[in-house]
A and B are shown apart, each in its own frame.
Chain A
Amino acid sequence: MKFKAEVKVMLKPSVLDPQGAALERALRSMGRRNVDSVRVGKLIELVLEADGAAAAEALAAAWADELLANPVMEKYSCVVAPL
């Protein structure tokens, strides 16, 4: 079966995110005073072959551990759906 996996990669909260900080300042300077914090991450879409949703998610997570995210500075989450 084919699945689509979305892997969301974010910098850990403890890691400085200058892009997020710049966007936060931009929103404030646009007068959007409700903004509290902004963090910027990556969304990676994969199409993969697996026996079931659980297997697809396990694969996506394994690939995230291996390559897609750097556990030293990032955390990730995976969402899987059949295609």
Chain B
Amino acid sequence: MTSPRTAVVVFPGSNCDRDNVRSWRAVTGLEAELVWHKETSLPDYDLIIVPGGFSFGDYLRCGAIARFSPVMSEVARLAARGSLVLGICNGFQILTEARLLPGALTRNRDLKYICKDVTLRVENASSAFTSRYAPGQVLRIPVSHGEGGWSASLRELKELQDQNRVVFRYCAPDGSVSPQDAPNGSLDNIAGVLNERGNVMGLMPHPERLAEEILGGVDGRGVFLSLLEAASGGLKR
């Protein structure tokens, strides 16, 4: 096993970049490099995290401007190469704007910014991002967003469901799923999705905010542990 080479991309307005470096280090004992969005050439990272925040002030649409940053061509190149790409919150929005992930994130149903812990059900526990969770496991993880309602055409939704690419759904604490459990009005309660190849995932909740006991919980650790395993060559992609 070789140690995966990991980067966290930083845009103007990113604010979870250092949290991800810290959590990656705390969970895996490995370093992650911060990469400025103006970079035009990246080494072949095994894992790239596109972090949360308010890139470019969320002007126009969340992630709409960030997707044209020079570094995004490299993120697309590495995704095509098979590197793992994780988009969290604004990172998820950026990856959908860049069409590396399906759907779009729209204004929360109740028009409010939501910052609280939610419960998530692990729908796909065999992905590179979730292999360390059990199928159906219920996680408590914070969300912090104003535009987190995932939306797509019904055709796209069906494709995702049929291909087991819905990774997380918002659920009740007992694991049951009904529309009122999606705080933002997400279609089909979707909180996280995979690309077709399975090496790019986006989610609105913040696993990096609950990855150490000192933060009040460790339910987010599984994402980093799964990634460590997958990026170290433990999983075939």
- The answer to whether A and B belong to the same complex is yes
Enumerate chain A interface residues (CB-CB to B < 8 A): 11, 14-19, 22, 67-68, 70, 72-73
Asked if B162 is at the interface (CB within 8 A of a chain A CB), the reply is: no
B-side interface size class: 20 to 34
> What secondary structure prevails in chain B residues at the interface with A?
loop
Cβ B60 vs Cβ A68 within 8 A: yes
Q: A14-B153, A15-B151, A16-B151 are in contact. Are A73 and B106 (CB under 8 A)?
A: yes
Cβ A18 vs Cβ B185 within 8 A: yes
The residue that B152 contacts in the complex, of A16, A67, A72, with Cβ under 8 A, is A72
Which A residues touch B132, using CB under 8 A? none
The chain A residue with its CB closest to the CB of B65 is: A67
Asked if B51 is at the interface (CB within 8 A of a chain A CB), the reply is: no
Q: List 25 A-B contacts (CB under 8 A).
A: A11-B106, A15-B106, A16-B106, A16-B109, A16-B149, A16-B151, A18-B108, A18-B110, A18-B111, A19-B111, A67-B60, A67-B64, A67-B65, A68-B60, A70-B61, A70-B64, A70-B97, A72-B96, A72-B103, A72-B104, A72-B151, A72-B152, A72-B153, A73-B106, A73-B151
Which B141-170 residues have C-beta < 8 A from chain A? 149, 151-153
